[in-house]
Structure 1
């Protein structure tokens, strides 16, 4: 039974991130109703005790708050305003929380569509990988009406380590672009550092603990260096094929802001090389293997 502190949460999009939100919310005692086009995602939701909806509209008819976690703008438009979309059955006053990494015009589309129906809309992307999402180690950048954010904070606490109110609607997406700019560079710098340590004969576990304790540490080093040690990139917390969309968004936003991004520009070719090597579904920690293969001495 839903309460103000524990509303019935609707989730549209049960991929890597959406399924992690659902699992953590279920473990926290929240009722969850969700929809995804993939039968495996529907089965996973049912297995964790969630309710599988027949359509996005079915989610809207049942939920007290709706989280949207999708991979493309086309999917967002279909889910929100399509023939079986949320907009046709949502009750007035039910908040809509758009959590995907999309361009600002897509966020505005979502806000305009639902606010016309009397529903508050928040822009709330998260910082963190799928692996971090699984263990509730995400930072949520909440933007929009602050009173709505505060009302939903107990729910956000169910799947995020930290919820930061960052300003008016759209501020969350702008901050996510800034964060992902750093992630892009730190991920590649971690791959460079791990390969240098490997080639120099350092014990990698020792190196990890020493670097993590010093000035050279970064969150991406902590998350992805262990994956690089093992050269194991499945299951992916962030797939190369998905992250390429984020790289385009960051580049477009930086250009619009007239901000030079030389380190981002230098990093992108290595992400493209990963796709050329067939690493589409690998975690972006696979940059380590890309660098290793590109520079392999004879016999390595």
Structure 2
């Protein structure tokens, strides 16, 4: 069993299975989440609980964050009872959230001033990959800090790669999620077009899934379309956030603009549903 103690903040759809992988790997994990009911599943498999982010710091060597957006990061670091309200010297802070490179650079600078190391380490993959430790983890920040925590990251993912300085992990994740948005809308439009011409969804997906462009995403989201199941593995509102973050750092290509317009239009009705619910927006 590793002697490294891990503090975990953020227990959403991804945070719970990711933290669970570390517990199963033998790490001592202490969790904090604003919604306390989310802590129950991990307590049952051995997690301890902290009442505030501040409490989490003193008990642990490595702090992992998996939250929704820049505003949540700002609150966790600088809010009342936040990470920076206590001594963080000697800690490694791993921010696995999908946030802007700018917030990572800001928090990395503040962390360094306070004697801590900061890594941005967002992930590619959804709930199923989190549950099986098969995420792809892209990291920005100090190489020594990365090597120190790489064994931890490798318990959650099949690949953990350092891409460069602070923010580079965030940039890579925004690029990947931009492609995800383009592909999702493309899949939705393809299904609708085929249906309009008399081809059943199941028949079309069978062809795609056995052809040159077959992939895991099409299989999962295709099954969701057929089942009319839009329970969120990745909520549509989050892809809107990510496309806007990408836009803010320069993404302005024709397809990206179109996807942002489409997903933004879908948010009011389908924002809490899975991103493949965009098919309902495209169908009109």
TM over 0.5: yes
Give the aligned partner of residue 273 of structure 2: 282
- List runs of 5+ in structure 1 lacking aligned partners: 295-300
What's the offset of the Cα at 1:56?
0.3
Counterparts of 1:159-198 in structure 2 under 5 Å? 159-198=156-195
The separation in 2 between residues aligned to 1:262 and 1:185, in whole angstroms, is 11
1:246 to 2:242 alignment? yes
Deviation at 1:213, TM superposition (A): 3.7
Aligned with residue 263 of structure 1, among 255, 263, 266 = 255
Matches of 2:195 and 2:109, distance apart in 1: 52
Tell me how far 1:115 sits from its aligned partner. Answer: 0.9
Structure 2 equivalent of residue 297 of structure 1 = none
Query: Contact 2:236–2:276 (CA<8 Å) still a contact in 1?
Result: no
In the alignment, what sits opposite 1:82?
A: 79
After TM superposition, list the pairs within 5 Å mapping 1:195-234 onto structure 2: 195-200=192-197, 202=199, 204-205=201-202, 207-234=204-231
SS of equivalent residue, structure 1 residue 83: coil
Deviations 1:256-292 (A, max 9, x none): xxxx41001112232123223x212101011123333
Question: How many residues are aligned here?
Answer: 284
What SS class does the counterpart of residue 157 from structure 2 fall into? coil
CA 1:81–1:176: 2 relative to 1, 3 Å: same
Q: Which sections of structure 2, spanning at least 5 residues, go unmatched?
A: none
Structure 1 match to 2:69: 72
For the aligned residue pairs, the C-alpha RMSD in angstroms reads 2.1
* CA distance in structure 1 between the aligned counterparts of 2:270 and 2:201, rounded to whole angstroms: 24
**Structure 2 CA distance for partners of 1:95 and 1:194, relative to 1, 3 Å:** same
Offset of 1:90 from its aligned partner?
Answer: 4.4
Q: CA deviation at 1:48?
A: 2.9
CA distance in 1 between counterparts of 2:220 and 2:159 reads: 17
Per-residue CA deviations over 1:186-222 (Å, capped at 9, x if unaligned) read 0111112233444555565554344234332345323
Alignment TM-score, normalising by the size of structure 1: 0.87
Aligned residue number for residue 124 of structure 2: 127
CA–CA separation in structure 2 for the residues paired with 1:110 and 1:35 = 19
Q: Deviations over 1:18-61 (max 9, x none)?
A: 11211122222222111011022122331232111110011111
119-128 or 79-88, which moves further after superposition? 79-88
Alignment partners' CA distance in 1, 2:172 and 2:263: 22
* TM-score, normalised via structure 2 length: 0.91
